[in-house]
Every structure is written in structure tokens, then in C-alpha cells.
Amino acid sequence: YGCGKTHLAAAVANERLRHGDFVLFVTSPDLLDHLRATYAPDSEAGYDETFDRVRNAAVLVLNDLGVENPSQW
């Protein structure tokens, strides 16, 4: 905690953006929330479409991995 991991990850992501890469920077709890939300009847994007964006990112930065709340999902 507090040793600059997020700052360093953001610096790497920003550099890859400057080179034109598709970068996805997201906290893992937020990513899980976004994926869960795709199952709602009024969701604008489906699960497959959302997951494909994650899977096809040239650079994927998952911040706060491991801090998500335990759930059956």
C-alpha cells in the first residue's frame, strides 16, 4: 500500500497510449461490476461485447487486483 504501483502502471499505460495502443486501465472490482451489469435487461452492451474489449486490449492494467469483495459471482 502506498508504494507507487498505480502511478507506475498508469505511466506505462500512458506511454503505450502515446504509441497508439488500445489501453484499458481499470480496477478489478470495477471490471467485475461492469461485467455483472451486462446481464441487466436494460444493459447497453452485452457480456460478450464487453469481455471482448477487455480481452482484445493491447495493454490491460488491472489495478487493485485482490481487493474485490468475495461473492458467488
pLDDT in tens, the chain (73 residues): 788 889 999 999 999 999 999 999 999 889 989 999 999 999 998 999 999 999 999 999 998 876 656 666 6
Rounded to two decimals, what is the model's pTM?
0.75
What's the confidence (pLDDT) of residue 49? 93
1, containing H or E segment: none
What's the confidence (pLDDT) of residue 67? 62
CB-count exposure of residue 26 (10 Å: 0-12, 13-18, 19+): middle
Please report where in the chains the cell 455483472 appears, as a residue: 36
